[in-house]
C-alpha cells in the first residue's frame, strides 16, 4: 500500500487559508493513507480559550471534516488529521481518521504538552486500533505522546501495523525517538509535523519540520526538511509489522515478561 504525509505551515486562526492549502496539496495525490499535522486547521499558539473555541469543531462535523471527507472520497484514500475538538463546553486536542467509505474515528490526545494544558482537557478515548482497506490496522497518537513508550507499545500490542502521528513538534528529540518506537515495536510510523514560527500573546514557538515515514526497523523511508512544504509518499508492506522476530531465538513480543515490569 502507499502511505503519505503532508507538511506545511498553518496560519494561526485562519481556517480558510489552511483548508485551501491542504486542498492544494492533497488533490491528485495517489495514496492509500495520508497523515496531516496536529491542529492543522487552526494553528497552535493560542492566547486564550476563546481563540480555541473560535476554530474548534465537533467530531464528524464542521468545515474541516466536510472538506477532508470530500477529498478522501474523491481520491479514494484514508486521511488522518489533527484539529481542536469541541465537545459541549470541553476542548480536546484531537485527530480524526476519515475513510473513503464515510466512516470516521476520533482520538483525543492523551499527553498534553506545555501550554496545551491551559486550553484542552486530557484525552479520554484511550489508544485504539482501526482497520482500513485490505485489513490494514492503524493506530493514532498525537505529538507529545511520543515521549511515553507506553503509547506506541499499547497500539502495537493491540495489533497496529502503522502508527499515524500528527504533530506540532518543537523539541529536538522526537524524530529520533520515533525510530526507537518503531524498532522496539516493529511497526511503521508516519510522523506529520508542521513548519514555521508562530508568535502570539508573547509566546514564540519554532516548529521543527522533518516529517518522516519509518519502517519496522526504525529506518527512514522518506522525510522532508525543516522548512519544506509538500507531500511525500512511499510504498510499504504492512504485513512486515506482523513479524516481531529479532533473531532466530528472539521475538520482540513473545519475549516480553510483563510480570517483572512496573507501569
Whether 164 sits among the annotated catalytic residues: the reply is no
Q: Report residue 45 as a C-alpha cell.
A: 499558539
Whether 38 sits among the annotated catalytic residues: the reply is yes
| Number of other CB atoms surrounding residue 34 within 10 Å | 28
Strand pairing partners for 107?
Answer: 95
Tell me the three state secondary structure of residue 22: helix
Q: Name residue, grid cell 492503524.
A: 138
Distance, CA of 212 to CA of 5 (rounded, Å): 8
Distance, CA of 166 to CA of 261 (rounded, Å): 29
* Annotated catalytic residue, options 15, 109, 137, 179: 109
Contact between residue 51 and residue 13 where contact means Cβ atoms under 8 Å apart: yes
Whether 95 sits among the annotated catalytic residues: the reply is no
* Annotated catalytic residue, options 40, 77, 95, 143: 143
Q: From residue 158, how far is each of 130, 139, 233 by CA, in Å?
A: 10, 9, 26
Q: Name residue, grid cell 516548529.
A: 207
Distance, CA of 255 to CA of 109 (rounded, Å): 30
* Annotated catalytic residue, options 38, 57, 116, 198: 38
Active site residues: 38, 109, 143
Amino acid at each position: 500500500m502507499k502511505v503519505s504525509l503532508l507538511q506545511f505551515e498553518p496560519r494561526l486562526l485562519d481556517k480558510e487559508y489552511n483548508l485551501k492549502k491542504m486542498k492544494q496539496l492533497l488533490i491528485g495525490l495517489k495514496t492509500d493513507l495520508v497523515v496531516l499535522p496536529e491542529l492543522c486547521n487552526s494553528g497552535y499558539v493560542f492566547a486564550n480559550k476563546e481563540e480555541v473555541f473560535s476554530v474548534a469543531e465537533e467530531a464528524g462535523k464542521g468545515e474541516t471534516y466536510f472538506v477532508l471527507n470530500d477529498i478522501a472520497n474523491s481520491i479514494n484514500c484514508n486521511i488522518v488529521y489533527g484539529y481542536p475538538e469541541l465537545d459541549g463546553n470541553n476542548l480536546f486536542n484531537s485527530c480524526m481518521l476519515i475513510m473513503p467509505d464515510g466512516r470516521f474515528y476520533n482520538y483525543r490526545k492523551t499527553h498534553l504538552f506545555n501550554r496545551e494544558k491551559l486550553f484542552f482537557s486530557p484525552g479520554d478515548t484511550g489508544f485504539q486500533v482501526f482497520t482500513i482497506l485490505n485489513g490494514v490496522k492503524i493506530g493514532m497518537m498525537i505529538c507529545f505522546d511520543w515521549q511515553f513508550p507506553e503509547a506506541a507499545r499499547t497500539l502495537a500490542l493491540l495489533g497496529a501495523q502503522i502508527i499515524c502521528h500528527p504533530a506540532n513538534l518543537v523539541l529536538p528529540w522526537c524524530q529520533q525517538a520515533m525510530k526507537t518506537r518503531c524498532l522496539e515495536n516493529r511497526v511503521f510510523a508516519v510522523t506529520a509535523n508542521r513548519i514555521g514560527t508562530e508568535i502570539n500573546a508573547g509566546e514564540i514557538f519554532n516548529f521543527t519540520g522533518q516529517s518522516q515515514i519509518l519502517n519496522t526497523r526504525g529506518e527512514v523511508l522518506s522525510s522532508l526538511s525543516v522548512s519544506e512544504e509538500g507531500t511525500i509518499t512511499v510504498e510499504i508492506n504492512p504485513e512486515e509489522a506482523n513479524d516481531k522476530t529479532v533473531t532466530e531465538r528472539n521475538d520482540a513480543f513473545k519475549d516480553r515478561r510483563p510480570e517483572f515490569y512496573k507501569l
